[in-house]
Structure 1
């Protein structure tokens, strides 16, 4: 009887030792949302990475500035955080990133948790939404404009389209909403802005 109690206590303690795999540490699954926070890098770099991400159907997560997806399925949040740190180090992007990951219960915040960025950017796809995310930060999260990227940006919000000017700082600092979509148009021979100031002002109110 005493031996059984000692064994049970020993097993319970082992479940909480680092590196011990047990039922106390459930792995991440496709469809789950995680909150990722990065430290150990410059403040403007933290804004590019810190945010809410979704584990894709493939079991992987796309993180900003990384060409390769980071495997998440089956990993604990702690293990995924270490994998993400390693990915940024291996890519030569950050030397000493410190990443923390938490699983968002109940699917996280209501509604879409990403903005879509496409057109003439280096990586088309979703960028994680966070509070005070700007147009410029979203484009940076997609790797920035490519060599063909023009000055005209199209913001699609709730079925309406707005034309922004990438050369205008106030346009680049417009705050985005969850579910917004940005398209960077290809530059033409004469790269003129196609929008109207009166329309853009409504976005700044």
Structure 2
């Protein structure tokens, strides 16, 4: 009897190991992405570079403060809220030309947008951080990262997201999505996707 019981236990263990990778998580547990409006105008946290032609000491790198302003040399506080790069360049040219510089030429270059990125890490071809776009989905983000590599565990992808009750990590089956058994998931800025190694 002991031999039979041991054999049954061994078979159960082997079955559990073989089927562990086949179990798929419940996507309904994942909080839905919060709607985000991506605008072309500057918002708090954005980082940009200002270049003033022929005036090396005046330009520089600036970050939009919480009140939507920056502190610019010679001018002082400047409200940049919702201004495009071209509109801000024109405003700075106007204000610098008002008693400070003669016919200034200003260029504004956006270098970083606060919290408007998603990260794709782990077993993908090109892990890293990528710009968020409206209606970006999980599969699209993985595609931006070069797709899953041959070591990826497509049924156990982890999504870390800030939801109504705080930050949580949830399991997602990318295979179920690509097979058409589950809908693709919309992402939100700040989401982190981690693709683990498949079990040996």
Normalised to the residue count of structure 1, the TM-score between the two structures is 0.40
Greater percentage in helix:
1
Structure with more relative contact order (C-alpha pairs < 8 Å, separation 6 or more): 2
